[in-house]
């Protein structure tokens, strides 16, 4: 089984268990409040048309979060369930490397970084 890695690297359709939650302050508390707790299982439902944010299913409901936030959530991927298979095309992740979605992107280049660099 692979080690823990950031949630934003997971492809659509994959399932994982939350191992730890980084970050601090209000955003961290918010993620906790939304049920991002250690041991909880989640499934990446899809990515938005431009790849970010992502939608996950956790604790029986759907949650959208940006890569920025998803980067702080370390998860351990579960083996792909036999029925689901790889994510179908059109679900937002075809044709890109799984890890690519984690780029910092425009916001940082333009100076909107939340953590002040």
Partner 1 sequence: MGKLPRIAIAGNPNSGKTSIFNRLTGLSQTVGNYAGVTVEIKEGRAERAGRAFRVIDLPGTYSLAAFSQDELIARDYVVEERPDVVLDVVDATNLERNLYLTVQLMEMRAPLVIALNMADLAEEQGVRIDATRLGRLLGARVVPTVGSQGRGLDEALEACAELLTGQADNPEKRPGPAPVTYGHMVEGEVARLALLAGSEERLAARYEPRWVAAKLIEGDAAVAARVRELAPEAAGVLEAEAADSARRIVAHFGADAATIVAERRYGFAAGAIRECVRFPSGVRRSLTERIDAVACSRWAGPVILAAVVYAMFFAVFKLGDEWGWLFGRSPKGWADALFAWLASAAAPLAQGWPLLGSLLVDGVIGGVGGVVSFVPLIFLLFLFVAVLEDSGYIARVAFMTDRPFRVFGLQGKSVLAMIVSGGLGGGGCAVPGVLAARTLREEKDRLVTMLTVPFMNCGAKLPVFLMLVGAFFPDARARMLLLLWGLSWLFALGAAWALRRFVIRGEQTPFVMELPPYHRPTLRGALTHAWERTWTFLKKAGTILLAVNVVLWALMSFPRGAPERSALPSPAADASSGATRSGDRRSAELGNSLAGRLGRLLEPAGRLAGFGWRENIALIGGLAAKEVIVGTMGTAYSLGEADHENPASLSQRLTADPGWNRLRALAMMIFVLVYSPCVATLAALRRETGSWKWPAFATLYTTALAFVLAVAVYQGGLLLGWGLS
Do residues 44 and 12 lie in contact, with contact meaning Cβ atoms separated by under 8 Å? yes
Identify whether the C-beta of residue 12 lies closer than 8 Å to the C-beta of residue 94.
Answer: no
Q: Is 108 in the site for partner 1 (CB under 8 A)?
A: no
Structure tokens at 63: 């949650």
Verify binding: residue 85, partner 1, rule CB under 8 A. no
Cα–Cα distance, 21 to 86 (Å, whole number): 26
Tokens of 38: 């250690």
Q: How many residues bind partner 1 (CB under 8 A)?
A: 48
- Comparing CA positions, the residue from 66, 58, 56 lying closest to residue 107 is 66
Query: Does residue number 6 form part of the binding site for partner 1 (CB under 8 A)?
Result: no
Q: Does 84 bind partner 1 (CB under 8 A)?
A: no
Cα gap 39→73, rounded to integer Å:
12
Q: Which residue has the tokens 């993620």?
A: 31
| Contact set for partner 1, span 25-64 (CB under 8 A) | 25-35, 37-40, 45-53, 55, 59-64
For the CB of residue 107, give the shortest distance to partner 1 in the complex, in Å. 6
Q: Does 104 sit near partner 1 (CB under 8 A)? A: no
Which residue in the set 11, 16, 44, 65 belongs to the binding site for partner 1 (CB under 8 A)? 65
Residues that bind partner 1 (CB under 8 A): 20-21, 25-35, 37-40, 45-53, 55, 59-66, 68-69, 90-92, 106-107, 110-112, 114-116
């Amino acid at each position: 089984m692979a080690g823990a890695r950031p949630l934003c690297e997971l492809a659509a359709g994959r399932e994982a268990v939350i191992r730890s939650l980084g970050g601090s302050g209000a955003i961290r508390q918010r993620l906790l409040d939304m049920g991002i707790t250690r041991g909880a299982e989640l499934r990446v439902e899809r990515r938005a048309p431009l790849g970010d944010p992502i939608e996950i299913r956790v604790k029986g409901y759907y949650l959208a979060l940006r890569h920025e936030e998803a980067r702080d959530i370390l998860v351990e991927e579960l083996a792909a369930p036999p029925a689901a298979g790889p994510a179908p095309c059109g679900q937002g992740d075809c044709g890109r490397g799984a890890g690519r979605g984690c780029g910092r992107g425009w916001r940082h280049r333009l100076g909107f970084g939340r953590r002040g660099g």
